[in-house]
């Protein structure tokens, strides 16, 4: 067995162990406090843990399937996220062709470029070409009503849900000396750090949270949760250095950057939800809300993580 | 020499090997015969295709719209019902259908316009065989059968119905068109059956009129509490009540209107 595969298996066993632990706690809490399913917090906690099982199994399967598996998984994530995002925008009938192009041309092309590792094009395809051609497509119907708002919303949706999200599988295309064949572990590192940072911010906030950090954007986020979550995610990142090409110190610094970006990503997406008067982006993931509710911190940290690693570690 | 057991086109083929078991051969020829017979009978093929086809359509609708049912506090409707819904797209009843549990779905028939669903062979296959629609003739002057009788007959046979009381697709900016009299007349004809309001949200954005490519957007189907027509209730009073019950299920317009 290659070193990469054994590391991956070790990692999956570790994550599985954490989930078994979480499920056990959830089960005990339910027996003690909510035997008839009446305690909403406990029920939500268990729904979240169950959804984590599904997400971990899906990601694990994609990792085992290799590069194509990961690209296809994230293409579907982008599809579901874009669907949630566009549902909340102000599109009009005249946008039909532009929207069809977003879903059926821009999204598949972006992931195809990721699959063939054409960095020069996938890093500008949506920011430049979609940016120019989508409004052109929108003008063809001649509807000027709220035109700027409409095209801006669609471009923003594509940037967040497709462009940024596609930087997760793009990590596979980095060429790092001495790290060949192990890039999938970079994705694992990113996802574990950013998701644990979210979970730990929630846990620290529930335990010690007093001072609201952004009361108008996200009333449940607290300073204590933020500090505790980011600090513990940084430590966890540093302790995962063995799956990365980084030293423990570098791994900790990168984990810190990932956690910070994830936190602000959550704030931005939360501001959009408030603007639209919804609590969740959707209902895809039981207990969590929509896919974007889970993906918001990943999409903000992925491109930054990608570019830092590419600039300082990658040979290409 | 002629083998009488395997006559005609069922003769042992050289490709099947020298020691093909007779049992297998008989089984194969039976399959072939029934296949050939069914080719002659288009209705059998239609019936065989209709099941998987409806499954495919529901899977497709779910993949595009991630449709989600919102049930009333009293829970999902039970038994036989008349579902009355807003109508803005050809796909409306597919979404209602998709969120119903499978055992209710097989007994639920959409009420649709005969002139549309009999227009072509494909329409007829989808309308009659796949969806088992109760087809009614909308044109008062030309029609040969009474729609209320058609619908009552389907109810008497035990089916639930999906009805669009606006009578046509709503292509205006208004949330709901004034109801036609059909819902009231049907409710009067079969007063014991529950009338369940159903609001279908967002499907008009998925596939606006005249477009053939659906845009993936999240849709919801909200069910309300059942209504009945009162014994002395006038058409106007009942229609106003039914319209209000349906409109009450529509989500508030958030920023989508100026």
Predicted confidence band of residue A73 (pLDDT cuts 50, 70, 90): very high
Residue B82 in 3-state DSSP?
strand
| Chain B residues touching A89 at Cβ < 8 A | none
| Distance (Å, whole) CA B236 – CA B252 | 26
CA dihedral A137, A139, A145, A149 (to 10 degrees): 50
Q: What is the pLDDT of residue B3?
A: 42
Candidates A76, A78, A87, A278, partner chain B, best to mutate (most B CBs within 10 A): A87
What does residue A294 show for φ and ψ, rounded to 5 degrees? -95, -25
- Please compute the mean of the pLDDT values over residues A40-50 and round it to a whole number: 86
Domains of chain B: 43-247 (3.40.1130.10)
pLDDT digits (tens, 9 = 90+) for A236-292: 999 999 999 999 999 999 999 999 999 999 999 999 999 988 888 888 877 778 899
What residue spans define the domains of chain A? 1-65, 68-173, 182-316
| A24 confidence band (pLDDT: 50, 70, 90) | very high
* Interface probe, candidates B62, B66, B214, B253, chain A, greatest A C-beta count within 10 A: B66
pLDDT of residue A282: 84
Residue A127 has pLDDT above 80, yes or no: yes
- Of the listed ranges A158-162, A214-218, A277-281, B17-21, the least confidently predicted one is B17-21
Q: What is the ipTM of this complex?
A: 0.84
Please list every residue in chain A whose beta carbon sits closer than 8 Å to the beta carbon of residue B211.
96
Q: Which regions of chain B are under pLDDT 70?
A: 1-41, 252-258
CA distance B135 to B144: 12
Contact A290/A86 with Cβ under 8 angstroms? Answer: no
> How far is Cα B189 from Cα B139, in angstroms, rounded to an integer?
21
Strand bridging mode B220-223 / B194-201: antiparallel
Least confident of A121-125, A297-301, B136-140: B136-140
**pLDDT at residue B28 in the model:** 64
CB atoms within 10 A of CB B110: 22
CB-based contact B215 A103, cutoff 8 Å: yes
Q: How far apart are CA A206 and CA A230, in angstroms?
A: 15
pLDDT at position A68 is 93
Kindly provide the b/e burial profile for residues A124-156, where b requires at least 16 CB atoms within 10 angstroms of the residue's own CB: ebbeeebeeebbebbeeeeeeeeeeebbebbbe
**Average of per-residue pLDDT across A85-93:** 90
Q: A95 phi and psi, to 5 degrees?
A: -85, 5
Check residue A43 and give its pLDDT. Answer: 84
């Amino acid at each position: 067995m290659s070193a990469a595969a054994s590391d991956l298996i070790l990692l999956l066993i570790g994550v599985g162990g954490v989930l078994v632990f979480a499920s056990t706690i959830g089960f005990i809490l339910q027996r003690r406090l909510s035997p008839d399913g009446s305690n909403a917090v406990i029920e939500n906690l268990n729904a979240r843990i169950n959804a984590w099982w599904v997400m971990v199994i899906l990601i694990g399967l994609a990792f085992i399937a290799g590069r194509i598996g990961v690209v296809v998984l994230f293409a579907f994530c982008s599809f579901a996220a874009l669907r949630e995002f566009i549902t909340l925008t102000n599109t009009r009938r005249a946008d039909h062709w532009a929207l069809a192009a977003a879903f059926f041309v821009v999204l598949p092309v972006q992931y195809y470029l990721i699959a063939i590792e054409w960095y020069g094009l996938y890093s500008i395809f949506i920011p430049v070409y979609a940016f120019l051609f989508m409004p052109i497509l929108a003008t063809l119907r001649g509807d000027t009503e709220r035109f700027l708002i409409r095209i801006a919303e669609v471009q923003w949706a594509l940037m967040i849900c497709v462009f940024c999200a596609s930087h997760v599988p793009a990590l596979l295309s980095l060429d790092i000396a001495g790290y060949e064949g192990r890039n999938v572990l970079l994705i694992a590192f990113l996802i574990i750090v950013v998701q644990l940072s979210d979970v730990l911010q929630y846990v620290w906030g529930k335990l010690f949270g007093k001072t609201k950090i952004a009361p108008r954007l996200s009333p449940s986020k607290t300073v204590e949760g933020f500090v505790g979550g980011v600090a513990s995610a940084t430590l966890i990142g540093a302790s995962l250095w063995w799956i990365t090409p980084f030293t423990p110190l570098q791994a900790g610094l990168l984990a810190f950057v990932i956690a910070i970006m994830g936190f602000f990503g959550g704030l931005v997406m939360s501001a959009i939800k408030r603007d639209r008067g919804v609590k969740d982006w959707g209902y895809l993931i039981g207990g969590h809300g929509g896919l974007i509710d889970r993906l918001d911190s990943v999409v903000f940290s992925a491109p930054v993580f990608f570019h830092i690693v590419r600039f300082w570690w990658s040979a290409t | 020499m002629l083998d009488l057991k395997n006559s005609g086109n069922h003769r042992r083929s050289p490709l099947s090997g020298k020691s093909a078991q007779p049992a297998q051969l008989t089984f194969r020829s039976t399959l072939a015969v029934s296949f050939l017979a069914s080719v002659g009978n288009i209705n059998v093929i239609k019936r065989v295709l209709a099941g998987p086809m409806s499954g495919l359509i529901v899977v497709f609708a779910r993949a595009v719209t991630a449709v989600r049912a919102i049930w009333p506090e009293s829970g999902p409707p039970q038994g036989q019902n008349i579902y009355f819904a807003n109508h803005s797209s050809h796909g409306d009843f597919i979404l209602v259908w998709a969120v119903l549990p499978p055992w209710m779905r097989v007994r639920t028939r959409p009420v649709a316009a005969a002139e549309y669903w009999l227009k072509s062979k494909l329409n007829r296959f989808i309308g009659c065989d796949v969806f088992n629609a109760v087809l009614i003739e909308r044109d008062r002057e030309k029609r040969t059968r009474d729609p209320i009788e058609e619908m009552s007959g389907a109810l008497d046979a035990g089916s639930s119905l999906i009805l669009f009381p606006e009578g046509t697709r709503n292509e205006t900016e208004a949330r709901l068109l004034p109801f036609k009299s059909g819902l009231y007349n049907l409710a009067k004809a079969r007063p014991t059956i529950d009338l369940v309001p159903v609001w279908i949200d967002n499907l008009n954005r998925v596939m606006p009129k005249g477009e053939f490519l659906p845009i993936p957007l999240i849709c919801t189907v909200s069910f309300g509490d059942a209504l009945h027509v009162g014994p002395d209730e006038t058409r106007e009073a009942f229609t106003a009540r039914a319209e209000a019950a349906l409109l009450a299920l529509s989500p508030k317009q958030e920023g989508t209107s100026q």
